[in-house]
């Protein structure tokens, strides 16, 4: 006797909807961040960046 799928408990049916909702939420957070913090200034000085590679050979 083969088991039949119950569409009420089918998880794959809801994957696309969850993906769409998560995209909308993430884009909304991004838009709100740029709206409320448009003039973000970096407090570190970039005039003397840390040296990653040494010049000694």
Q: What is the pLDDT of residues 5-51, one digit of tens each?
A: 887 877 888 899 999 999 999 999 999 998 988 776 766 666 676 67
Q: How far apart are CA 27 and CA 54, in angstroms?
A: 41
The confidence score (pLDDT) of residue 56 equals 65
Instruction: Please tell me the pTM assigned to this model.
Output: 0.53
- What's the length of the chain? 57
Residues 32-46 as b or e (16 or more Cβ within 10 Å = b): eeeeeeeeeeeeeee
């Amino acid at each position: 006797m083969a088991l039949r799928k119950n569409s009420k408990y089918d998880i794959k049916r809801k994957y696309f909807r969850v993906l769409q909702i998560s995209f909308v939420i993430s884009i909304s957070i991004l838009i709100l961040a740029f709206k409320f913090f448009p003039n973000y200034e970096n407090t570190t000085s970039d005039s003397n960046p840390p040296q990653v590679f040494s010049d000694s050979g």
